[in-house]
């Protein structure tokens, strides 16, 4: 349950447009379709994403680190897809769409999307699952996600998977593409469509962020927390189609809060695009040794002062465990996956040309949220909501495909 996310959705989808509706926030295991107050005679499509933490590597590692009694395969969230299906079947939904992380194909030896498709098939649906990469749909981010698509017999059939709008820069293969041949063992698995050869190239981080306001250009400048509702003018006119689409004609944009990491601003400043935590440690130690020399301190004669200066310059995290947890974005490539952990820290997504972690608006841009999408919440909640979301541009492609499958293709014209 996430009341903050429900409030954000209610504001952006309803309240700011003058619609007196709101998102219900509740525990699905304690709810029934009757709680939705659906108008009689309507046939709602059921769309959802059961919590990914039980399936994802990050979620598994965290649970296992807390002790065997909380091992990931005992995490009850791993079975919430059953309640999702309960809602879909009790509502007799004409169509069902489910999203989750690719790791859900092996949850304690079980292929969750295959199981979901099997249950739906047994209840009169045609169902398939696939793995989509958001970069193929115009999102400036490589983000692979499992998508289950199902249509009730009599309402249509699965004749269309989402159609990619963008093409990759090279022969790059994503992590899960290499496993597609093995997934063929599941009769429900369908390989995703390929983009047209003349489709535009993937949108890069630079394409996505270059028109947003400069916030922190010097690692030694004073840090000032920016309120999320503060609207600032864009740096310049839109330079590409992605920026035009995100701006929708607006002249100012909000969401510029970024994290206060005083020790690390200097490190970020010297990191190159693509650098990780090992590179950051090397940079930090250069700064540390320089400070020791300038202050004429050595470990043997002044051990306490030495420790104090080291704490001032060098991050204390393990080089073995944190290699991939720091990364500076490359402006010439799509971002790596934007995750909900941004709600805790933003070391995983260091700004490509300013010495700081990305802002809330920049994270939203990397997920393809339009600039008029407002976050009336805390900075941490905003980052978490963005990382948990299905990118809107990929959602649009899925929606268009489902309209075709429901014989409603004319709706998207």
Question: What is the Cα–Cα distance from 96 to 48, expressed in whole angstroms?
Answer: 8
Task: Return phi, psi of residue 153, to 5°.
Answer: -60, 130
302 CA to centre of own chain: 46
Strands 232-233 and 46-48: unpaired
The tokens for 262 are 């005083």
- Candidates 61, 70, 353; CA nearest to 219 is 353
* Residue listed under structure tokens 């949850």: 107
| Phi then psi dihedrals of residue 407, to 5 deg | 60, 35
Residue that is written with structure tokens 């999320």 in the block = 228
Could you please report the per-residue DSSP string of 80-136?
Answer: THHHHHHHHHHTT-SEEEEEE-GGGGGBTTB-HHHHHHHHHHHTTEEEEEEEEEGGG
Q: Cβ distance 313 to 284 under 8 Å?
A: yes
- Catalytically annotated residue among 25, 52, 117, 377: 52
The DSSP call for residue 231 is -
Q: Report residue 332 as tokens.
A: 């010439």
Ranges assigned E (strand) in 137-209: 144-152
Rounded Cα distance, 187 and 160, in Å: 17
**DSSP H/E element including 249:** none
Q: Tell me whether residue 377 is one of the annotated catalytic residues.
A: no
Specify the DSSP class assigned to residue 70.
G
Q: Which helix (DSSP H) or strand (DSSP E) does residue 74 occupy?
A: none
The C-alpha atoms of residue 295 and residue 116 are separated, in whole angstroms, by 63
Return the active site residues: 52
């Amino acid at each position: 349950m996430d009341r903050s996310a429900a409030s954000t959705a209610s504001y952006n989808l309803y309240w700011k447009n003058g619609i007196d509706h709101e998102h219900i926030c509740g525990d699905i295991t304690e709810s029934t379709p009757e709680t939705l107050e659906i108008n009689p005679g309507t046939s709602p499509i059921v769309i959802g994403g059961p919590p990914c933490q039980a399936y994802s590597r990050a979620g598994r590692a965290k649970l296992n680190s807390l002790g065997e009694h909380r091992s990931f395969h005992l995490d009850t969230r791993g079975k919430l897809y059953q309640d999702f299906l309960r809602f879909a079947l009790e509502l007799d939904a004409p169509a069902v769409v489910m999203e989750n992380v690719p790791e859900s194909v092996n949850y304690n030896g079980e292929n969750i999307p295959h199981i979901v498709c099997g249950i739906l098939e047994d209840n009169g649906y045609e169902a398939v699952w696939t793995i989509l990469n958001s970069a193929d749909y115009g999102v400036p981010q490589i983000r692979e996600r499992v998508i289950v698509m199902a249509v009730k017999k009599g309402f249509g059939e699965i004749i269309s998977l989402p159609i990619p709008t963008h093409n990759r820069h090279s022969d790059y293969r994503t992590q899960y593409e290499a496993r597609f041949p093995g997934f063929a063992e599941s009769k429900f698995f369908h390989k995703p469509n390929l983009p047209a050869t003349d489709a535009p190239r993937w949108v890069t981080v630079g394409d996505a962020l270059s028109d947003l306001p400069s916030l922190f250009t010097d690692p030694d400048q004073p840090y000032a927390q920016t309120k999320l509702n503060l609207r600032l003018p864009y740096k310049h006119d839109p330079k590409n189609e992605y920026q035009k689409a995100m701006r929708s004609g607006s002249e100012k944009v909000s969401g510029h809060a970024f994290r206060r990491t005083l020790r690390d601003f200097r490190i970020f400043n010297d990191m190159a695009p693509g650098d990780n935590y090992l590179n950051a440690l090397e940079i930090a130690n250069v700064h540390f040794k320089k400070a020791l020399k300038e202050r004429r301190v050595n470990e043997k004669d002044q051990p306490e002062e030495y420790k104090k200066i080291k704490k001032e310059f060098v991050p204390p995290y393990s080089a073995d465990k944190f290699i991939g947890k720091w990364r500076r974005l490359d402006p010439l490539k799509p971002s790596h996956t934007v995750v909900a952990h941004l709600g805790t820290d933003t070391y995983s997504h260091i700004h490509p040309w300013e010495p700081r972690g990305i802002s809330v608006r920049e994270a939203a841009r990397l997920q393809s949220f339009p600039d008029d999408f407002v976050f009336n919440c805390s900075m941490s909640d905003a980052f978490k909501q963005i990382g948990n979301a299905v990118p809107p541009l990929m959602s649009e492609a899925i929606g268009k495909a489902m309209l075709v499958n429901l014989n409603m293709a004319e709706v998207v014209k």
